[in-house]
Chains A and B, each alone.
Chain A
Amino acid sequence: MSVRIRQLMFATLLSLAIWHLFEGGYIHAKAWLAQHLIHNAWKASSSNASAQKPWPGADTHPVARLIARNGKVDLFVLSGTSGRTLAFGPGHMTGTALPGTYGNVVLSGHRDTHFSFLKHLGIGDQIFLESSSGDRKSYEVIKTQIIHENDIHIARDNGDDRLTLITCFPFEAIVPGGPMRYAVTARALSPNTLNI
């Protein structure tokens, strides 16, 4: 192998490494930064009572604030679950109950960024969901399960008041796009059982 080819290979591999490092890091950076920008839009939404876009040209807006693990997780939930939306924050699945209302509120998020905390949730853990009007609803985890992505029954409304959090499974899969999902089901606690 001539030196030139070796150097060329070296340069190519190094740039590939840097590019992948950047791509991988960028996903996390975007996920992190977006949540900060959304925070401002959220404050504006709350005071104006109208949906505010987090940045110019955004095709989504915050619809709720999700708090879990004793405040260690504090996320802004966006409207819709397209890939573009989920890069910035967990998304509210269109067509399911709106945050703050009665029904099955379905949120999904990326397993390696915002929703990586789902693996730490256990039965009995409390989750809070704040709607833009400032009302806070509490939920208690009753079930965690692994399902197929076509098992959309999880997103159905069965007539009870619940919160469903969905992310990809397995959490550590290297290649994205697998067909399995991890779902956390939490039932709403009635307001008088709250101790906050």
Chain B
Amino acid sequence: MHSPLTGGRIKTQLPNYHIVKDGLKGLFASIVVGFTVSTILVLIVITLALLSTSASATGVDQINNTKSGSLLVKNAQTGQYMPTPTLLTDVKINVSGILARTKVSQQFQNSSKDWVEGIYIFPLPENAAVDQLRMRIGDRIIEGQIKERKEAKKQFQDAARSGKKATLIEQERSNIFTTSLTNIGPGESITIEITYQNTLDYRDGAVSLRFPLVVAPRYIPGQEHNENATTSTLNQDPVVTDAHRISPLIIDESEQKRNPVNLSIKLDAGFTIQTIQSTNHTIKKNKINEHQYQVHLVSDNVPADRDFEVVWRSASDAMPRSAVYTEKKGGKYYSLITLFPPTDPNADMPRLPRDIVFVVDTSGSMHGASLDQAKSALELAVKRLTNEDRFNIIQFNSNTQSLYSHEQPASEKNLKVACRYINALVAEGGTEFAPALSIALNDDAKAGRIRQVVFITDGSIGNEDQIFSMIKKRLGKNRLFPIGIGSAPNSHLMTKIAQYGRGSFTYIGDISEVETKMGDFFNRLENPVVTDISTKWPEDLTVDISPSIIPDLYQGEPLVIVAAMDERFTGSIQIEGLFAGQPWRQTVNLEKRTEEQGIGQIWARRKISEHMGSLRDGMSEEVVRQAVLDLALGHSLVTKYSSLVAVDVTPSRTMQYMYRQLIPSNLPNRWSQAKILGALPQTATGSLMHLMLAALFSALALIFFLKGKSPKARGQR
């Protein structure tokens, strides 16, 4: 009332009241128009808002709420996403020693009224060699063929067009695969069987088997930037920034019943088993004999948010000294050799003093349980140091910060400072790994000392290539030991860091494991057994072994090499190295061997991995592609350049031709991917909405302004 606006208005109105009268009519009209327009606008905005939220509720949110094993079908008529009620995953693993052959059956059921095609994306273990595909329709089985990727895709697309059922298995990243299916009729179900082999981790008398049930959101489709390197000075974005879009917001309990996972292991350990344990899941064990067990995942309660891990231990001293597995395939002879270096507990092993650098990830992704695990692991590690050792702690997020400028003696006083530093760590910000790595690799091992770099991270790091090439260039005599933290660390990155860094990778899935896992880890870290290892084969034998660089062996760790030979060789080979600094030599007799399936594939998979790695060293893509393709086609392996494709002989969609043609080709009626690969970036700002709202509120403000004015103006008459 005492506002300058009101006062000013009355003064000007008095002498011009005719004008005001005419003006008022106009104003009144504009108020009516303005109000109507505004109301319509409000309605439009509200409707749009509702429409867009309902669209995202049926699409994005549902996808977000879905766990990795699930699959969504997009309905062509309504454009809505409806989860298929049944996708059954059945995993059967056959273990013999450290060899595992796994059959993953995915049963898809199309409960919609339409013919559909779809894509299903799933993770497999890091070193999985996928070599077999079977498509099961009723009781008919169609075997998949290995083809060059483009050719396989073309066959699949041709089949899709001609109404034939078809399946295509492609590799997206070295541990991410996709299954594409086409021409699944209403109410039909189809089973896809994929077989792969891999070698298991074997150390400290324990073998561990992992089956990934979840893909952490860091995986982004498209170019395999792990393996397809480019020599570029550019960083890739260090963190997967759209993680929030592809992480489940709420875990829907009913999903578990919808997409159950059955998992069973036929276990033949090759030694007397003392214990069998699962890290994250409940399992049921049936003993067959001392060496053999049948293990089941209790399927009523499968938390699909954690990788499945089973560990079996030998009774002490029950471990075989060495083992040789062989396979004859396609005129070649393959041998997988495992060898344990001598460990005489009575012998006094000289303990070399160590310089150890702990690099801990304190980025935002580590927040919560992960950082707690990292802290307790780090504290345990620091407390293990002796007076002779020197240490430093580096933390990295968006910035890199270190406790000391260079390694300091592990004196009591320094350790106290270190513990305080560890306790104060806070997880926040981005993941700039490279600068931390660079600082850690600034120095090299001094004479008579060992220099080790321990990384504690969840591995949500994007610029992998830059990291690998830095390690290759600057490793020197340093050794790198990544420790993976969290429910689903990026084991591809960690394994590679360990491989290039000649160290080993430890995975800690839960805070309760920190103590035992770190205990094993320290044993290894503190007792490097054999270094600078090489193998000697007869000179006249053509042999191709993998790995070409053999990592150092730590206590409790076996040497695992795979060799391909042109002729049968049953003699002995020499393995040489430095045992606690002294020359060491061991003979392995290849005559005592076990025939086993899949050794050839394991060899080829390792070779392919080496070839893909050579891209980083500037090898031309064409050369690598050819080499990988030769191996892949020879061994029937799915790689970046080759896919498995199965096509039904007879078309099944004959009746539905008309219907099919009605569907626009650029929006096919197909299954959308699960949350794993997520969605394209969000690319609209609210700018237009804000500006519209600004206009709307101005209009409303004007109404109130004028409404306040009109009765007074009338009163003046």
Contacts and interface: CB of A to CB of B under 8 A. Distances in A.
Interface string A138-161: 000000011111111111110100
17 contacts: A7-B1, A7-B704, A16-B693, A49-B233, A91-B681, A95-B236, A96-B222, A98-B236, A112-B687, A149-B679, A150-B60, A152-B673, A156-B172, A166-B680, A168-B682, A176-B688, A177-B682
Interface residues of B, number: 73
A148 B686 contact: no
A137 to B, nearest CB: 13
A20 B690 contact: yes
B232 A81 contact: no
A95 B60 contact: no
Contacts of B696: 17
A183 B52 CA distance: 20
Contacts of A20: 690-691, 693-694, 697
Contact of B221 (A7, A95, A98, A132): A95
Interface string A160-171: 000000111000
Interface string A7-48: 101100110111111011101100000000000000000000
B688 A149 contact: no
Contacts of B680: 108, 147, 149-152, 154-155, 166, 181
A122 interface: no
Interface string B490-534: 000000000000000000000000000000000000000000000
B226 to A, nearest CB: 9
B683 A98 contact: no
Please classify how large the interface on chain A is, using the bins under 10, 10 to 19, 20 to 34, 35 or more: 35 or more
Contacts of A104: 222-223
Contacts of B223: 95-97, 103-104, 157
A163 to B, nearest CB: 13
B222 A10 contact: no
B6 to A, nearest CB: 8
B482 interface: no
A85 interface: yes
A149 B697 contact: no
A10 B705 contact: yes
Interface stretch (B10-18, B237-245, B253-261, B292-300): B237-245
Nearest to B149: A159
A68 interface: no
Contact of A7 (B3, B44, B150, B224): B3
A109 B682 CA distance: 9
A111 B683 contact: yes
Contacts of A9: 704
Interface string B35-67: 000000000110011001101100110010000
Given A13-B697, A20-B697, A102-B621, A109 B683 contact: yes
B707 A6 contact: yes
A73 interface: no
Contacts of A146: 666
B240 A94 contact: yes
Nearest to B235: A51
A108 B673 contact: no
Contact of A178 (B52, B698, B701, B704): B52
A129 interface: no
B430 interface: yes
A175 B697 contact: no
A7 B3 CA distance: 9
Given A83-B682, A159-B150, 9 more contacts: A10-B701, A10-B705, A17-B698, A24-B687, A28-B687, A109-B683, A152-B680, A155-B680, A174-B48
Given A6-B707, A24-B690, A104-B223, A111 B233 contact: no
B349 interface: no
